[in-house]
Amino acid sequence: MVSCPRPRISDVPPRTRAAAVAALLLLSGCGGGGDGHAGAAGVGDPYFPKAGNGGYDVTHYDLTLGYTPATRHLTGTAVITARATRHLTSYHLDLTGLDVEEVTVDGEPARTSRAGQELTVRPGTGLREGEVFRTTVRYSGTPRTITDPDGSEEGWLPTADGAVALGEPVGSMAWYPGNHHPSDKAAYDLKVTVPPGLTAVSNGELRSERTLPDGRRTFVWHTGEPMASYLATLAIGKFEVRRTTGKVPGYVAVDPTQVAASRAVLGRLDEVLDWAADNFGPYPFRSTGAVVERPDDAGYALETQNRPFFPGPPELGTFVHELAHQWFGDSVTPRTWRDMWLNEGFATYAEWLWSEDHDGDTAQEIFDSVYAGDYYDSAEAGKAVWAFPPGDPPSADTISDPPVYVRGAMVVHKIRQLLGDDAFYDFLQGWTRTHRHLVADTDDLEAYAEGFAPEADWSAVWDDWLYGEGRPARP
């Protein structure tokens, strides 16, 4: 492949610089209509084809935001540092709603257009393959709540005293532009200014908080470890904040109305993390914590990185589940949404292991009960587990259905049965170690697991339990 240097033509006025550069590139056999490309509008996810974008890899998001709950008005500046993975004449960012006021690339004005969730950026100068470039997007407006194919709500959710941003699978495009697909993880810095008396909680570590002369407050958060954008969160409101000082420093923010009812479970944070580290390997991040809002602020808990989100006081099992996701999903992230069971099967299995290790039913007993159909109160719920194979959900509206969670956990249990306990725990810890902070798919998991027992017959695990239709004939 030809490497095309980016000409410097400082003596050309900015307005005509793009045309001059294009002419030079054409003369040199580079760019122009030659091997210049428009970056793809999606990364090819089987369920969310427009999610993410092709042609570049984001390394860092720097977000400066202001939000006023009373007016639901958000102002934002996103500085997105990325590396071009091919020669680009234009590329896409995902952003839904909001008004884009200005876009620059490396400080130079860029042309833009919008269609649906695609914000197309045409820099004045083509971008070379391998070139690191910075896109700055200034935007504002009222962020949207997105209704997913399965009917759940994500994106930007107004709450009783503020708002919370939840992004699985595609909601993060409601509050900042980016490459919104789990396959492109990046570091984050987030600076948020909110009205007097409110707190802004996000991922990573709180670098500073200060009160401005007018009483507004600015919070600066830093996430150094790579994060998939669906795990980015921002919770704005009144919070009672408690810092924990276990092996991993924690920042726990709880809506004041939920503090008393949350205390017992949240007080077990360090204990759960210690237990999880014993089973899954070292905790993958520099900080931990939790965010608890009111029960009607969202319909579900989410494993937002570093500090999972809970709508109301968490049940212990849910707390274990979301903390287990810090290993399975947040550190080892699914390559596409088809690989969702790598998140949910393992996080659900973590609940089973917790039960087994704490005088509850063993994972084998839970497995048997699910298989027999008496794990659930209703026969209908018992049957739902077998609706489709966890390795291949039939559509976007099913990626969070019971087969992905519960039958996914059963696949993990089948791996355990085949390997035996010693090798199984080596497998769990090796998986999180070798794929730490990376993305992985189901083929990676199969190959990795088989490495622990290359001579064994894995066909029942994969063909029947992971990919087979209906309830496998034998438990």
Which residues would be at the binding site for Zn ion (CB under 5 A)? 344, 347
Question: What is the smallest separation between the CB atom of 343 and Zn ion, expressed in angstroms?
Answer: 6
The alpha helices in 242-315, defined as continuous H runs, are 259-266, 269-280
Find out whether 22 and 14 touch, Cβ atoms under 8 Å. Answer: no
88 vs 347, which CB is nearer to Zn ion?
347
Question: What is the smallest separation between the CB atom of 334 and Zn ion, expressed in angstroms?
Answer: 12
Residues 6+ apart with CB under 8 A from 227: 185, 186, 187, 188, 203, 204, 305, 330
Cβ-based neighbour number of residue 113 at 10 Å: 11
Question: What is the smallest separation between the CB atom of 293 and Zn ion, expressed in angstroms?
Answer: 17
Residues 6+ apart with CB under 8 A from 195: 68, 69, 70, 215, 216, 217
117 vs 442, which CB is nearer to Zn ion?
442
Residue nearest to Zn ion (CB): 347
Question: What is the smallest separation between the CB atom of 348 and Zn ion, expressed in angstroms?
Answer: 7
Question: What is the smallest separation between the CB atom of 328 and Zn ion, expressed in angstroms?
Answer: 9
Question: What is the smallest separation between the CB atom of 406 and Zn ion, expressed in angstroms?
Answer: 11
- The token pair at 357 is 């290790």
- The token pair at 219 is 């919070």
Question: What is the smallest separation between the CB atom of 152 and Zn ion, expressed in angstroms?
Answer: 13
Find out whether 381 and 371 touch, Cβ atoms under 8 Å. Answer: no
- Bridge-partner residues for 157, per DSSP? 164
166 vs 347, which CB is nearer to Zn ion?
347
The Cα 379–Cα 96 span in angstroms is 40
143 vs 313, which CB is nearer to Zn ion?
313
The Cα 334–Cα 423 span in angstroms is 23
Question: What is the smallest separation between the CB atom of 318 and Zn ion, expressed in angstroms?
Answer: 9
Question: What is the smallest separation between the CB atom of 379 and Zn ion, expressed in angstroms?
Answer: 24
Question: What is the smallest separation between the CB atom of 181 and Zn ion, expressed in angstroms?
Answer: 18
154 vs 344, which CB is nearer to Zn ion?
344
93 vs 340, which CB is nearer to Zn ion?
340
The Cα 409–Cα 341 span in angstroms is 8
Residue 404 phi/psi, 5-degree rounding, is -70, -40
192 vs 342, which CB is nearer to Zn ion?
342
74 vs 323, which CB is nearer to Zn ion?
323
The Cα 88–Cα 55 span in angstroms is 7
Find out whether 124 and 103 touch, Cβ atoms under 8 Å. Answer: no
Is the preceding omega at residue 169 within 30 degrees of 0, hence cis?
yes
The Cα 94–Cα 234 span in angstroms is 18
Q: Angle 427-433-439 (CA atoms, 0-180°, nearest 5)?
A: 100
244 vs 326, which CB is nearer to Zn ion?
326
The Cα 430–Cα 354 span in angstroms is 20
Strands 199-202 and 217-227 come out as: unpaired
Question: What is the smallest separation between the CB atom of 399 and Zn ion, expressed in angstroms?
Answer: 11
91 vs 319, which CB is nearer to Zn ion?
319
Question: What is the residue whose two structure tokens read 């087969």?
Answer: 403
82 vs 302, which CB is nearer to Zn ion?
302
Question: What is the residue whose two structure tokens read 């497998």?
Answer: 427
The Cα 416–Cα 433 span in angstroms is 18
